[in-house]
Amino acid sequence: MHGNVLKSCAIFAIGLMMAAVSADLAVAQAAKGPSGLPLPRFVTLKSKRVNLRIGPSADYAVSWLYLKQGLPVEIIQEYDNWRRVRDADGTEGWVNQSLLSGQRSAIAAPWMKGKGKAVFVNMRRESQPSAAVIAKLQPGVMMSVKECTGDWCLVTADGTEGWVAQSEIWGAYPGEAFK
């Protein structure tokens, strides 16, 4: 009798694990927008002037005007030719896809802005925590991103190229790797 209870529990546990894996696969498959591209994903603003609208059409009011070309934003929803985006401050709204680029950029630790003058993101010569620091980036500094390994990103900020910890930037997901 005791053996049958253990077998039943083991079968139940395996069933739960299979259901969890199936649910994870369904979420991964559902995480693509109508464009076929993943949601969410990071992109940049293509133009120097980009209107953020309250809805997915030029008929909707402008809630914000971005004046920084190359600013990273996160696409969180798609509707026709419109993309709902979120910026590093958490502001959300709709932008026409023609004003977005697949280029990657990032912002150094925007969550650390205003935490003091001694707070920096270290840019290193190599993708290792023990590598030499070649620059100290203030929170909020924007950088272009060339590649990420999942732990480190190769970036350029103010003409200096080096590696920053992926966990210290906004513009690449934890564990995301790309070239």
Q: What is the pLDDT of residue 108?
A: 98
Q: What is the pLDDT of residue 67?
A: 98
Q: What is the pLDDT of residue 146?
A: 98
Q: What is the pLDDT of residue 49?
A: 98
Q: What is the pLDDT of residue 127?
A: 98
Q: What is the pLDDT of residue 117?
A: 87
**Can you list the residues of the chain whose pLDDT is less than 50?**
2-30
**Which is it for strands 82-86 and 92-96: parallel, antiparallel or unpaired?**
antiparallel
Q: What is the pLDDT of residue 16?
A: 35
**Close Cβ partners of 68 (under 8 Å, ≥ 6 residues apart):** 45, 48, 142
Residue 61 DSSP label:
P
Alpha carbon distance 77, 165 (integer Å): 27
Per-residue pLDDT reduced to its tens digit, 56-81: 999 999 999 999 999 999 999 999 99
Q: What is the pLDDT of residue 113?
A: 92
